[in-house]
Amino acid sequence: MNEYDSARMAGILAELGYAQADAPDEADLILLNTCSVREHAAHKVYSYVGALKPLKERKPHLIIGVGGCLAQQEGQRLLKGIPHLDLVFGTDALDSLPELLADAARGRRRSHTPRPRTVGIPVLRRGLKPGLKAMVTVMQGCDNFCSYCVVPYVRGRERSRPAPEIMEEVAALAQAGAREITLLGQNVNSYRDAESRLDFPGLLARIASVPGLWRLRFTTSHPKDLSPRLIEVMASEEKVMEQLHLPVQSGSDRVLAAMKRGYDRGRYLAKVEAIRERLPDLALGSDIIVGFPGESQADFEESLSLLSLVGFDFLFSFKYSDRPHAKASKLKNKLSEEVKARRLNALQARQREISLAIHRQQVGRVEEVLVEGPAKKGQGRLAGRSRAGRTVNFAGPDELVGGLVQVAITEGLVNSLKGRLCQL
């Protein structure tokens, strides 16, 4: 979501005539896009902007701004706390950036954090040429109010973009060369076009018909709202990739209830079973929070056992942290940093074993790979993603970049696969 907002900012700046600098000390304008889903965001922003102070002293015309969720949350406090900061802009203030920058250039320090709107999302992505992969927001905000989460407070209530606007943006991106699009929303499953009542599976099917587009992914799906119809569309639309992010957060019923997630372990597992029955090659991803207030060792072990039971391909795991407004921050029985760190390590170690085992099982398969560019290491090696979203490295000529190839998998590692290009 933040990457997408950064691209929107870059688009607006490009329209104003700005070009991208290679390093902060070459820039006339530095904007930080912040996230506040977990703690320490504030801390990081203060230290990052603090470190820019000597640069600002050397270069007084430099404009430094902070945007995004933390800006939404802190507003004026950031301007007060950081005297060399020029502007603060909230999550729904991007359209005002030109005006805010003009004011900053005149020495007027402003914080603009309008309440996230309940309807309407500004038309996105101006003046930027997309790469091979692009993101498109379908909905913003969230009404779920999970007890640990700050998103409904900083991103506002849930609102869906009109379907015609989404279709227009996707078509324009495909025409400009984007081949893979990821649809974004805090809970894409509750998408609903206000006018036509089109739902998310319907939207997905419609987008899959856009010419020039090869691959479609989406994130995030709340497990409680995952419908059989979505599974059907995923199974029947060739362009919808076999990858699903379905954050479970905990394997313990007690903790899931305290988190207010709206499902229990049994119901989550039943959904996973239904999906796998229809989509046997699906790669499943998840998020887990360790150390929710009151999480016992037995609760934590339920999360560990869930990992083994489901066998997730991708896992993002986090130590619980208190967030402003979130109900869980008022709970007693907070766990120590030490316990949280120990549990996180154990969870991640378990996941590495699982990822490695799944990746080793891929050896011998032939995968369709969208070639994204040179591999991180190794001359003459290319990297791309399989339909399931796994990184595949293989030897091949640069001309293949931007195209689809077939790769025979020869080795499975923890975070990626190695393979051999199949001759056509």
Distance, CA of 225 to CA of 122 (rounded, Å): 26
Cis amide prior to 220 (ω within 30 degrees): yes
- Does 249 contact ligand SAH by CB under 6 A? yes
Binding window for ligand SF4 (CB under 6 A); candidates: 6-14, 126-134, 146-154, 267-275 = 146-154
User: In the set 2, 144, 227, 305, which binds ligand SF4 (CB under 6 A)?
Assistant: 144
Contact by Cβ (8 Å): 180, 145: no
Distance, CA of 98 to CA of 101 (rounded, Å): 5
Q: How far is the CB of 119 from ligand SAH (least distance, A)?
A: 20
Contact by Cβ (8 Å): 189, 200: yes
Our CB check for ligand SF4 shows the closer of 138 and 149 to be 149
- Does 138 contact ligand SAH by CB under 6 A? no
Binding window for ligand SAH (CB under 6 A); candidates: 59-67, 102-110, 317-325, 349-357 = 317-325
- Does 321 contact ligand SAH by CB under 6 A? yes
- Does 142 contact ligand SF4 by CB under 6 A? yes
Binding mask 174-203 for ligand SAH (x = CB under 6 A): ------------xx----------------
Our CB check for ligand SAH shows the closer of 187 and 386 to be 187
- Does 220 contact ligand SAH by CB under 6 A? yes
**Six-digit token pair at 395?**
């030897």
| Residue 289 binding: pick among ligand SAH, ligand SF4, none (C-beta 5-8 Å cut-off by kind) | ligand SAH
Our CB check for ligand SF4 shows the closer of 157 and 276 to be 157
How many residues bind ligand SF4 (CB under 6 A)? The answer is: 10
Q: What is the DSSP string of 242-311?
A: SEEE---B-S-HHHHHHHT-S--HHHHHHHHHHHHHH-TT-EEEEEEEE--TT--HHHHHHHHHHHHHHT
Give the residue carrying structure tokens 């109900």.
Answer: 327
| 372 DSSP β-pair partners | none
User: In the set 222, 265, 340, 343, which binds ligand SAH (CB under 6 A)?
Assistant: 222
| Residue 152 binding: pick among ligand SF4, ligand SAH, none (C-beta 5-8 Å cut-off by kind) | ligand SF4
Backbone region of residue 24 per phi and psi (left: phi > 0; alpha: psi in -120 to 50; beta: other values): alpha
Binding mask 210-249 for ligand SF4 (x = CB under 6 A): ------------x---------------------------
**Six-digit token pair at 385?**
């993603």
Binding window for ligand SF4 (CB under 6 A); candidates: 144-152, 170-178, 353-361, 385-393 = 144-152
- Characterize the bridge pairing of strands 404-412 and 366-374: antiparallel
Contact by Cβ (8 Å): 12, 28: no
- Amino acid present at 34: T
- Does 316 contact ligand SF4 by CB under 6 A? no
Strands (E), 10-124: 29-34, 63-68, 87-89, 110-112
User: In the set 38, 44, 342, 350, which binds ligand SAH (CB under 6 A)?
Assistant: 38
Q: How far apart, in Å, are the Cα atoms of 347 and each of 18, 288, 313, 318, 321?
A: 44, 9, 14, 10, 17
> What is the number of alpha carbons within 13 Å of residue 281 lying toward its C-beta?
15
How many residues are given for the chain?
424
- Does 145 contact ligand SF4 by CB under 6 A? yes
Distance, CA of 351 to CA of 347 (rounded, Å): 6
User: In the set 112, 215, 271, 323, which binds ligand SAH (CB under 6 A)?
Assistant: 323
Using a 10 angstrom Cβ sphere, with 0-12 exposed, 13-18 middle and 19 or more buried, the burial of residue 286 is buried
Q: How far is the CB of 188 from ligand SF4 (least distance, A)?
A: 11
Our CB check for ligand SAH shows the closer of 3 and 99 to be 3
Q: How far is the CB of 334 from ligand SAH (least distance, A)?
A: 12
- Does 334 contact ligand SAH by CB under 6 A? no
Q: Which residues bind ligand SAH (CB under 6 A)?
A: 37-38, 148-149, 151, 186-187, 220, 222, 247, 249, 287, 289, 318, 320-321, 323
Q: Which residues bind ligand SF4 (CB under 6 A)?
A: 142, 144-146, 149, 151-152, 186-187, 222
